Amino acid sequence: MDIIKFGAVGVNSRGRGVMKEALGNPHFKLCAVCDIKPGELKKAEELFRGEKGISDLECYADYDEMLKNADIDAVFVATDAICHVPFVVKALEAGKHVLSEIPAVNSVEEAKILKEAVLAHPEVKYMVAENCCYWGFIEAWKAMADEGKFGEAIYAESEYLHSVDYRDLKPENYPPEHWRSFNPSIKYLTHNLGPLLYILDDECVSVSAIKSDVVYNPYVTRDDNAVALFKTKKGAMIRILISFGSFTGFDHNFRILGTRGSIMTDPTKSLNDAHSHASFSDIPGSMDCKVDIPVTMSSFSGGGGHGGADFKVISDFISCIIEDKKPKLDVDFAIKISLPGVIAAQSIEEGSANLEIPKI
């Protein structure tokens, strides 16, 4: 099987964006798109059938119809962030490989359903599209961790800062029924927790989380700013800050402190340009004067969305199908990076109670 035929469900900005990137992969063919919103479906049709010249593209308003009638091998699920599992399960049951957007699950119940469905269909692949795990510096940190450069991890942290200048906030951009208006920010932590757990090969066992009550964006009902503190199976502490409402530029900062080495991204540089700075016990003097590691998010990529990571995600998924390989971001990984956000949100609701994260 040399060409993997894809259908995409949910073709607003993310669905269209990833499918557009994927056109650069010679083993990818976009055969169908689906969206319940006629406007989004039309935009996808104009982009792919019109601009990109895919004359045989099929457009569906009904997902069941796409699964039943379209000649596809795989589905890319890019529906609302709070609703992926029902689409994933239907695709698996229809014998399709599935690449799911993040977060993979929205509840403990969904995590169980997802795991069962994936296990029940070993003939097809499931992968979560946590693109930040494919950033150049994350791959470099992973190689260092695997070599033992940090020793045992003691503490790790990551911050996701993604806000709008308060002077540009507009109510029409935050319709109350849209998930971006009401979904607690801490549930959107996979871009931060995902890479850390990938590097450290660890999982979260408990969490206590807190939110700020200060209002920055008056048009949303979600908690815009929250911090979660996790304990991991290997005994490390992880802190995740999600800030979708504060006066600061877009950024993802990462840091790991270990028994034999430590590393951090440079928070004074924007994400595209940030190098890493490290202290290693096997490099004399680096405890006082950190080593500059000139690897950025887009190192080792050919460019494209999210520092080239979007293309890498879909290409890796396609190669897993063609070569019949286990995806590195498989269902267990998908749950272990998504469920902690669900439980962190629950902790906030319960007054920062320290809660166990169920093992699924």
Ligand X SMILES: NC(=O)c1ccc[n+]([C@@H]2O[C@H](COP(=O)([O-])OP(=O)(O)OC[C@H]3O[C@@H](n4cnc5c(N)ncnc54)[C@H](O)[C@@H]3O)[C@@H](O)[C@H]2O)c1
Give contact residues for ligand X (rule: CB under 6 A).
Answer: 9-10, 12-15, 34-37, 40, 63, 78-81, 101-102, 129, 131, 306
Nearest CB to ligand X, comparing residues 59 and 320 = 59
CB of 279 to ligand X, least distance (A): 31
How far from 282 is each of 210, 257, 261, CA to CA, in Å? 38, 15, 9
**102 Cα distance to chain centroid:** 5
Whole-angstrom CA distances from 65 to 9, 40, 57, 88 are 11, 17, 14, 15
27: which DSSP letter?
T
Q: How far is the CB of 158 from ligand X (least distance, A)?
A: 15
Q: How far is the CB of 55 from ligand X (least distance, A)?
A: 23
> 33 vs 77, 139, 253, CA distance in Å?
10, 32, 35
* CB nearer ligand X, residue 129 or residue 257: 129
- β 153-161/126-128 pair status: unpaired
Give the nearer residue to ligand X in terms of CB position, either 12 or 299.
12
Q: Cβ of residue 152: shortest distance to ligand X, in angstroms?
A: 30
The two three-digit tokens of residue 257, written as one number: 């402190």
Listed in sequence order, the residues at least 6 apart from 66 whose beta carbon sits closer than 8 Å to its beta carbon are 7, 9, 32, 34, 58, 60, 72
Of 129, 131, 132, residue with least CA distance to 104: 129
Nearest to 29 by CA among 64, 59, 54, 62: 54
Closer residue to ligand X (CB): 68 or 359:
68
Distance linking the first and last C-alpha atoms of the chain: 33
Residue with tokens 């469920």: 339
Polymer length of the chain: 360
Nearer to ligand X, 144 or 342 (CB): 342
Whole-number Å distance between alpha carbons of 150 and 19: 37
Closer Cβ to ligand X, 36 or 287, answer by number = 36
Distance CA 317, CA 127 (A): 7
Quote the tokens at residue 308.
């080239």
> Looking at beta carbons only, is 15 or 245 nearer to ligand X?
15
Q: Which residue is nearest to ligand X (CB)?
A: 10
In the complex, what is the shortest distance from the CB of residue 122 to ligand X, in angstroms, rounded to a whole number? 25
Which residue, 19 or 200, is less far from ligand X as judged by CB? 19
Angle at which helices 108-120 and 85-93 pack, to 10 degrees?
Answer: 10
CB-wise, 58 or 278, nearer to ligand X?
58
CB of 329 to ligand X, least distance (A): 11
Smallest distance from the beta carbon of 10 to ligand X, in angstroms? Answer: 3
Q: What span, in angstroms and rounded, lies between the C-alpha atoms of 118 and 294? A: 39
By C-alpha distance, which of 66, 63, 51 is closest to 20?
51
- Give CA angle at 223 (220, 227), nearest 5°: 150
Residue placing its CB nearer to ligand X in the complex, 251 or 355: 251
CB of 165 to ligand X, least distance (A): 20
> Shortest approach of ligand X to residue 47 CB, angstroms?
13
- Cβ 7 to ligand X shortest distance, Å: 11
